[in-house]
């Protein structure tokens, strides 16, 4: 069954599996102990640290192993902020960071700090100058992902790192999505990553803190991992993580070229095959294996279910039924349609045939969902044909834009449709719909119940 | 090579190995996802939680998997303290807790909270009434280990839990050392444990929070594990941890009886075989597999090295060369000799023959260390034979008591030896020496340099 969600978690790489099983026998003892089994564990740990550091492009003593990428981010952000508390308590992050960064920023605000979220362009990338403009004298830390986890857009890390260096602000790079493809260039100060994203085992993250960066680990004292990652080392998994990172990097260039061709095919074909579908993210500056698109008039969870039934495992940043950070804060920050969103992230080794099958199955799956959702219009009409009021109060995404799509043809070019909706996603989706359908979004204002969104027909 | 340090980390149990390898293929996907691989991962996670909960004796929804026992303690203490902040900020712990608990207490104090360390008896156990007496109206949390990690003494958890319940204070039990042998009885509120202590893989801890206990997870938000353990679940290791806990419990009663006989043998024979050796900890209320003894006039690290050379891997709570929490806070709290300390903790399956060989090797190893340390007396003598001054300024443990042992016979019964020392361990060791050698510790007072400790010869 084709698994196309490597960005969530990659299947275990054969090298990781082999290294893990070998290390189970050699690496279960406490590396802090001086007897034979402890010394053997220590040697494995040291070797893994050297291998991982070489793959990241840092010194071994700058890298510690955490229990996950999320923990690396939490500890890295908290430690860097505390290390520069005297400078100030201002934190800069992009608006499309992973939830671990955004939740760290929120925790910082709860403790009285300030956090600024830099907006992104429609591609999902920050503008390096806009990012640099957010740096202040009291900025303690800036965070920018190397590439976005939902849409694959590569961020201008080197330019932003240069601006941060010039301003004397350390930059933390969340490299979770890009590290499988190679080291992160640029003069960054801290870096985080997650083993199970590159085909290593779960339970291992990386936190790199460059020499000279002020850092004060938070939480109760613990002597493990230079005091930056408390708890007994997850050694066999660490050994497997380091070994597989090297193996993955050795294959990266060739596999990236192959997968880039497959994702380019998806980017080109989806809009041809599926009516009212929009591919999002930067077409050029992007991860090789990841492509995201949104389909109008489709509920993402239902579409995922259809695709799962057809044998394809993909992910969605869509709203409506998921519990957290939904609708996708990334798509929202980009101003992209959040409904009917599908993220395809190919694991290394993904087969050409499977991608072709996916493209063959997708149009039918989207059509099936649209048919299920093709509910009757629940609209009251005002007198006169120049303007029309569509009452979809109480109806959830994607019904508001489905109904809007049905009635826009009922007013003449130059006429308006006013949508009354109390679904908060409507604010995003009606704008995105206008962008896709080349109609004009006139504005919104509070109504007796919900909000009135006005759209002018221009074509 | 006999490995006798199970209390640090146990070799991987065959069931853990088997379950881990099986779960590598089935459990690498994100259990939060709805496609097939995600649902399969979720089923594995749910089954592991049920198995672990049954072994602990709690409801599955009361148990989360953390990345280590240390993380479970850090998160458990912080969350319970925050959950009861309105009640007060007073924390009660025993003085012989694991460093993860004591460091959590120190972090609480740094943040303005109060922490009280309840003293222990000479066996290493708290007195339940003394512990109960430390509870106050503003006590937010109490912590007591189920059994001590350095000397094996079992704590009166049920009695203390009863007192805590009566006072309305939640009790957190660190069960890291005892859980391999069975569930912890008593009406406790929170419990922590560590997989690699029972032969499961590293990278997995347990945090149990009983229903009804106020708990507010600290740190950045994360939706995994009921919001109590951030980061992607370490699923194959979790599966292996749960499976091996069940397996270990199935074997526990029989193996406990066998190992108890072996450790009883060590307890009885060491004082016969090694002059000036003292077995510490409670002779009856103790873990089945763990025995600790201290040898006068011996440096612990050197003895460990001798035993390692002879093929035995043991641990030491001794001072002098180790970096953290040394000399052992446990031995210090018990008033036991900290020098020449050896902890033997037998893994399940430890062979009778290996224990016999250990007992055969030990006397020679201790004698070798004593010979190496048999430094000449660096003492200046006062006039008169009734009292004598021993100047060991600048000399480190165990030299002060070695020299004291050499000169005590030079004064008549009733006479005194005053030891001038600037080694802070001397305060502990000279008292412990007096206890062991049935001499009288008269007192101590500041000297021009260091401290003057006076000992009266009574036998």
Establish if B382 belongs to a structural domain: no
CA distance A155 to A369: 34
- A220 to chain B, closest Cα gap in Å: 5
Instruction: Please check whether residue A87 lies inside any domain of the structure.
Output: yes
Measured distance CA(B247)–CA(B258) in Å, rounded: 17
Assigned domain for B131 exists: yes
Judging contacts by C-beta atoms under 8 Å, the chain B residues touching residue A239 are none
Q: How far is B75 from chain A (nearest CA, A)?
A: 10
Instruction: Give chain A's radius of gyration (CA, Å).
Output: 24
Whole-angstrom distance, CA of residue B105 vs CA of residue A338: 46
**What number is the average pLDDT over the span B59-88?**
98
Based on the fold, state whether residues A364 and A403 are members of the same structural domain: no
Q: A344, A373, A402: which is the final residue of a domain?
A: A373
Cis bond upstream, residue B327 (ω within 30)? yes
Residues A260 and A241 occupy one common structural domain: no
CA dihedral B296→B300→B306→B307, nearest 10 degrees, is 90
Angle of helix B36-56 versus helix B235-273 axis, rounded to 10? 30
Specify the pLDDT at position B256.
98
Q: Is pLDDT at B193 greater than 70 in this prediction?
A: yes
In a domain, B174, yes or no: yes
CB contact under 8 A, A203 and B74: no
Q: What is the DSSP letter of B347?
A: P
Question: Nearest residue on chain A to B77, judged by CA atoms?
Answer: A220
Residues in chain A with CB shorter than 8 Å from the CB of B226 are none
pLDDT reading at B168 higher than 50:
yes
Spell out the residues 6+ positions from residue B221 whose beta carbon is closer than 8 angstroms to its own. Answer: A103, A106, A107, B227
Q: Which of A107, A202, A314 sits opposite B220 (nearest CB)?
A: A107
Same domain, B241 and B324: no
Contact A80, A215 (CB under 8 A): yes
Q: Which of B31, B73, B219 is nearest to A71 (CA)?
A: B219
Residues B256 and B242 grouped into a single domain? no
Which chain B residues contact residue A318 at CB under 8 A?
A: none
Q: How far A400 CA sits from the closest chain B CA (Å)?
A: 26
Q: Examine the pLDDT at B381 and tell me if it is beyond 60.
A: no
Report the residue of chain A nearest B317, measured CA to CA.
A33
Determine the pLDDT at residue B382: 45
Q: Is residue A302 in a domain?
A: yes
Q: Between A74, A224, A323, which is nearest B219 by CB?
A: A74
Structure tokens at B432: 């412990």
A279 and A177 in a single domain? The answer is no
- pLDDT at residue B167 in the model: 97
Q: Which of B316, B350, B373 is the last residue of a domain?
A: B373
Calculate how close chain A gets to B261, using CA atoms only, in Å: 25
B267 in the same domain as B170: no
Q: CA of A74: which chain B residue's CA is closest? A: B220
Residue from the list B30, B78, B323 with its beta carbon closest to the beta carbon of A8: B30
Residues with Cβ < 8 Å from A290, sequence gap 6 or more? A7, A151, A152, A177, A263, A343, A344, A345, A346
B187 shares its domain with B230: yes
Q: What is the CATH number of the domain that holds A326?
A: 3.90.1150.10
Picking from B188, B220, B248, the residue at the C-terminal end of a domain is B248
Which among B8, B224, B233 has the least Cβ separation from residue A30? B8
**Which site among A65, A68, A342 would you substitute to test the B interface, given the most B Cβ atoms closer than 10 Å to its Cβ?**
A68
Just list the catalytic residues of B.
Answer: 320
Which residue do the tokens 């007072």 mark? B445
Position B435 scores a pLDDT of 87
A74/B contact by beta carbon, under 8 A: yes
- B29 and A12: CB-CB below 8 Å? no
Does a structural domain hold residue A9? Answer: no
Decide if A106 touches B, using CB distance below 8 A: yes
Higher pLDDT, A320 or B252: B252
Chain B CB within 8 Å of residue A395 CB? no
Whether B348 contacts chain A with CB within 8 A: no
Same domain for B365 and B417, yes or no, is no
Whether A158 contacts A63, CB under 8 Å: no
**Which residue among B35, B223, B304 places its CB closest to the CB of A35?**
B304
CA–CA dist B201, B89 (Å, integer)? 35
The answer to whether A236 touches A28, Cβ cutoff 8 Å, is yes
The string of pLDDT tens digits covering residues B195-249 is 999 999 999 999 999 999 999 999 998 889 999 999 999 999 999 999 999 999 9
Asked if the structure places residue A439 within a domain, the reply is: yes
Residue of B nearest to A308 (CA): B35
**Is the CB of residue B413 less than 8 Å away from at least one CB of chain A?**
no
Helices A36-56 and A14-26 sit at what angle, rounded to 10 degrees?
Answer: 150
The greatest distance separating any two alpha carbons of chain B, rounded to the nearest whole angstrom, comes to 89
Cβ within 8 Å, pair B70-A230? yes
DSSP, residue by residue, A185-231: -S--SEEEEEGGGTTS-SS-EEEEE-TT------SS---GGGGTS-S
Distance CA B194, CA B241 (A): 9
**Contact across the interface for A68 and B314, Cβ inside 8 Å:** no
Residue A358: C-alpha distances to residues A3, A38, A278 (Å): 11, 50, 17
Question: Cα(A339)–Cα(B320) distance, rounded to whole angstroms?
Answer: 65
Looking at residue A339, what is its pLDDT? 83
CATH code, domain carrying B394: 3.30.110.40
**Contact residues, chain A, for B14 at CB < 8 Å:** none
What is the C-alpha separation between B237 and B235, in angstroms, rounded? 5
What residues of B are in contact with residue A28 (Cβ under 8 Å)? Answer: 9-12, 196, 201-202
- Active-site positions of A read 320
Residues A83, A76: Cα–Cα separation, whole Å: 10
Q: Please give the pLDDT value at position B397.
A: 81
A301 touches chain B (CB under 8 A): yes
Domain count, chain A: 3
Task: Convert the pLDDT of each residue in B388-418 to its tens digit.
Answer: 999 999 988 888 888 898 899 889 999 999 9
Q: Tell me the count of A-B CB pairs closer than 8 A.
A: 202
Distance CA A93, CA A102 (A): 8
Q: What is the pLDDT of residue B322?
A: 39
Residue numbers of B between 115 and 174 with CB closer than 8 Å to A: none
Q: What is the CATH number of the domain that holds A68?
A: 3.40.640.10
pLDDT at B299: 85
Asked whether the predicted pLDDT for residue B319 surpasses 50, the reply is: no
Domain coverage including residue B431: 387-456
Q: Which two tokens stand for residue A352?
A: 């050409």
pLDDT in tens, chain A (459 residues): 799 999 999 999 999 999 999 999 889 999 999 899 999 999 999 999 999 999 999 999 999 999 999 999 999 999 999 999 999 999 999 999 999 999 999 999 999 999 999 999 999 999 999 999 999 999 999 999 999 999 999 999 999 999 999 999 999 999 999 999 999 999 999 999 999 999 999 999 999 999 999 999 999 988 899 999 999 999 999 999 999 999 999 999 999 999 999 999 999 999 999 998 999 999 999 999 999 999 988 888 889 999 999 999 999 876 443 444 467 889 888 988 888 899 999 999 999 999 999 999 999 999 999 988 874 333 444 445 688 999 999 988 888 888 898 899 889 999 999 999 998 888 888 998 898 888 999 999 999 899 999 999 998
**A220/B25 CB distance under 8 A:** no
| Residue B37 near chain A (CB below 8 Å) | yes
What ipTM, to 2 d.p.?
A: 0.89
Which H helix or E strand runs over B103?
Answer: helix B99-110
Two structure tokens written together for A407: 């009635």
Distance from the B106 Cα atom to the nearest Cα atom in chain A, whole angstroms: 7
Asked if the C-beta of B65 comes within 8 angstroms of chain A's C-beta atoms, the answer is no
Res A335: pLDDT: 86
pLDDT digits (tens, 9 = 90+) for A274-302: 998 999 999 999 999 999 999 988 888 88
Q: Left, alpha or beta for A311 (phi > 0: left; psi -120 to 50: alpha)? A: left
Select from A104, A202, A205 the Cβ nearest to the Cβ of B235: A202
DSSP B58: S
B12/A25 CB distance under 8 A: yes
Q: Which two tokens stand for residue B457?
A: 């010869």
The minimal CB distance from A9 to the residues B1, B29, B203 is found for B29
Q: CA nearest B150: which of B279, B245, B295, B1? A: B279
Q: Which residue has the tokens 């494995």?
A: A44
d(CA B80, CA B74): 10
How sure is the predictor about B318, in pLDDT bands with cuts at 50, 70 and 90?
A: low
- Looking at the complex, report in whole angstroms how far the Cα of residue B348 sits from the nearest Cα belonging to chain A: 15
Is B287 in the same domain as B330? Answer: yes
Alpha-carbon gap: A73 to the closest alpha carbon of chain B (Å): 10
Same domain, B284 and B160: no
Query: Do A243 and A183 share a structural domain?
Result: yes
Interface check for B221 against chain A (CB to CB < 8 A): the answer is yes
Residues in CB range of B279: below 8 A, 6 or more apart? B267, B270, B271, B291, B292, B293
**Residue in A202, A345, A361 to test binding to B, most B beta-carbons within 10 Å:** A202
Axis crossing angle, helix B14-26 with helix A14-26, rounded to the nearest 10:
170
Q: Tell me how far apart the alpha carbons of residues A12 and B28 are, in angstroms, rounded to a whole number.
A: 7
| B158 and B281 housed in the same domain | no
Asked if B25 reaches chain A (Cβ–Cβ under 8 Å), the answer is: yes
A70 in contact with B at a CB cutoff of 8 Å?
yes
Hey, are the CB atoms on A69 and B223 less than 8 Å from each other?
no
Residue A286 inside a domain? The answer is yes
List Cα–Cα distances, B359 to A16, A85, B3, B265, B355, in angstroms. 42, 56, 14, 9, 6
Strand partners, A279: A293
Closest Cα in chain B, distance from residue A8 (Å): 7
The answer to whether B425 and B320 have CB atoms below 8 angstroms apart is yes
- The CA distance from B124 to A352, in Å, is 66
Alpha carbons B93 and B441: distance in angstroms, whole number: 29
Q: Residue holding tokens 């959590």?
A: B104
pLDDT of residue B406: 87
Contact present, A157 and A56 (Cβ < 8 Å): no
Verify whether the Cβ–Cβ distance B1 to A314 is below 8 Å. no
What pLDDT band is residue B297 in, cutting at 50, 70 and 90?
confident
Optimal mutation site among A3, A42, A221, interface B, most CBs of chain B within 10 A: A221
Rg (CA), chain B: 24
Question: A26 and A333 in contact (C-beta within 8 Å)?
Answer: no
Cβ distance of B33 and A313 shorter than 8 Å: yes
Task: Tell me whether residues B221 and A68 touch, CB distance under 8 A.
Answer: no
Nearest by CB to A12, which of B8, B24, B99? B24
- What span, in angstroms and rounded, lies between the C-alpha atoms of B430 and B44? 56
Strands B277-280 and B290-295: antiparallel
Q: In what order do the strands lie in the sheet with B451-456?
A: B387-391, B416-421, B451-456, B440-446
């Amino acid at each position: 069954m084709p698994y196309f969600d490597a960005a969530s978690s990659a299947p275990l790489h054969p090298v990781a599996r082999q290294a893990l099983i070998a290390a189970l026998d050699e690496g279960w003892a406490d590396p802090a102990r001086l007897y034979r089994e402890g010394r053997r564990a220590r040697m494995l740990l040291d070797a893994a640290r050297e291998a991982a550091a070489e793959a990241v492009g840092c010194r071994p003593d700058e890298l510690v192993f955490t229990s996950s990428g999320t923990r690396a981010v939490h500890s890295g952000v908290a430690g860097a902020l505390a290390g520069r508390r005297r400078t100030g308590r201002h934190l800069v992050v992009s608006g499309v960071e992973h939830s671990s960064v955004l939740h760290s920023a929120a925790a910082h605000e709860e403790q009285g700090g300030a956090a600024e979220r830099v907006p992104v362009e429609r591609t999902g990338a920050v503008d390096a100058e806009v990012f640099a403009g957010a740096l202040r004298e009291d900025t303690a830390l800036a965070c920018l992902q190397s590439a976005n986890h939902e849409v694959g857009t590569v961020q201008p890390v080197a330019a932003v790192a240069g601006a941060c260096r010039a301003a004397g602000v350390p930059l933390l790079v969340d490299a979770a999505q890009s590290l499988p493809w190679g080291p992160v260039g640029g003069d960054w100060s801290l870096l985080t990553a997650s083993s199970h994203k590159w085909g290593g085992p779960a339970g291992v993250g990386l936190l790199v803190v460059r020499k000279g960066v002020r850092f004060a680990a938070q939480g109760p004292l613990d002597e493990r991992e230079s005091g930056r990652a408390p708890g007994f080392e997850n050694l066999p998994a660490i050994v497997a993580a380091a070994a597989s990172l090297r193996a993955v990097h050795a294959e990266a260039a060739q596999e990236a070229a192959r997968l880039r061709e497959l994702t380019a095919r998806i980017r080109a074909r989806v809009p041809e095959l599926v009516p009212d579908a929009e591919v999002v993210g930067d077409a050029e500056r992007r991860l090789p294996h990841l492509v995201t698109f949104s389909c109008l008039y489709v509920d993402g969870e239902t579409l995922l279910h259809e695709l799962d039934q057809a044998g394809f495992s993909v992910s969605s940043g869509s709203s409506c039924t998921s519990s957290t950070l939904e609708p996708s804060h990334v798509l929202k920050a980009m101003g992209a349609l959040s409904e009917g969103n599908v993220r395809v992230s190919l694991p290394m080794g993904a087969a050409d045939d499977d991608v072709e099958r996916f493209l063959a199955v997708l149009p039918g799956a989207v059509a099936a969902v649209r048919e299920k959702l093709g509910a009757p219009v629940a609209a009251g009409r005002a007198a006169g044909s120049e303007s029309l009021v569509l009452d979809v109060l109480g109806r959830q995404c994607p019904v508001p834009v489905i109904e809007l799509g049905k009635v826009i043809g009922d007013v003449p070019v130059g006429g308006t449709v006013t949508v009354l909706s109390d679904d908060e996603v409507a604010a995003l989706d009606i704008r995105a719909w206008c962008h896709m359908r080349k109609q004009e979004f006139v504005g919104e204002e509070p109504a007796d119940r919900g909000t009135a969104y006005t759209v002018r027909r221009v074509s």
